[in-house]
Amino acid sequence: MLSLEIRDMIDGINYYQILGVPEDALLQEVQTAWRAFVKENHEDVVPLEERQAAKERMFRINEAYAVLSHEEKRADYDNAHMLNGGSKIELVRSRVRKAKDIMRKDHSLITGQEITLIESIHDYLDRKTQEACFQWMTELFGERPEMARYMVASAFDEQLLGADSQLFETLLAKAPYVITWEKIYLYGEDILGVAGKGNKERNYNQLARILCHRLDLAKHVVYPAFQEQASGCESGLLPTLLKLAPQEITQKHFDDYVDTVHRMRWIVYGQLRNYNEQAIEWILKARPDLTRKPEEKPAPKELPLPLRS
């Protein structure tokens, strides 16, 4: 259920207030705020009597997100409402300059908020600078391990971007306890947008490694494991889940996955369908108590009236 503070935002003056982000928010911050609202208003977590109100809130939230996540629409909106002082490019440059100043500070003075600011500009940096940021966080973690909880999102960004640095490896080896289910959820969603099957497989394999360190998070990798299979990735997340924690797969999880597989028509997605049928066999072997729902055949289409015999 949303707090009174968040509900008050929905009655705010502009789209930034609706999403609860600053006017100089970068795209990643806008996306994170929107995802949080989507999760809070999902029908599985909202009481029945509040679902209509949640739908109305999401209408406003989606409206704001559609504008603030689109560069040209956002620029037009800012100009129309005299927000942001004009140039988004200059705002990004300002944040990059600020991030570089932070990285030159004494490690003992760094705050969690400053680490979060550096995280927000990863997508705007060239590869060399990205890797320098991740390496800086790795060194900071070595001196101040209590800051690890602020570095989880950056460690996942490092993997999503395919950076040649060691932040994720260091975090997984020395502080896997800071990884939360919310971060796992967002990481799984972000993997869907990664380009290239090989890159997707590498990231799903990293989720499998996290599962080996954090078995208590098993129920939160069930849907990513099914997404892995549905996308045709031949990585190790589902096999690892079936080996370590098959009991976390519920009948609803399985039904949702089977529905996804049923939508893969043999005539179009034959190879992918076959791969997922094999995955269903793996699941039923590990969990024989689960029941596969029958596939619903589409109703035959009637011919137009003049063509009927």
What is 4-86's CATH topology?
Helix Hairpins (1.10.287)
CB 170 within 8 A of CB 141: yes
**pLDDT, tens digit (0-9, with 9 covering 90-100), for 234-244:** 999 999 999 99
Q: Band the pLDDT of 5: cuts 50, 70, 90.
A: very low
86 conformational bin, left if phi > 0, alpha if psi -120 to 50, beta if neither? left
The domain spans of the chain are: 4-86, 100-286
**pLDDT, tens digit (0-9, with 9 covering 90-100), for 257-274:** 999 999 999 988 999 999
Residue 139 has pLDDT above 80, yes or no: yes
Q: Band the pLDDT of 245: cuts 50, 70, 90.
A: very high
Q: What's the mean pLDDT in 68-84?
A: 74
Question: Which pLDDT score, from 0 to 100, does residue 89 have?
Answer: 60
Residue 90 has pLDDT above 70, yes or no: no
- Cα distance between residue 8 and residue 107, in whole Å: 38
Please write down the long-range contacts of 200-205, taking CB distance under 8 Å and 24 or more positions apart: 200/228, 200/231, 200/233, 200/235, 201/233, 201/234, 201/235, 202/159, 202/162, 202/235, 203/159, 203/160, 204/228, 204/233, 204/235, 204/236, 204/237, 205/235, 205/236, 205/237
In terms of pLDDT, which residue wins out, 72 or 163? 163
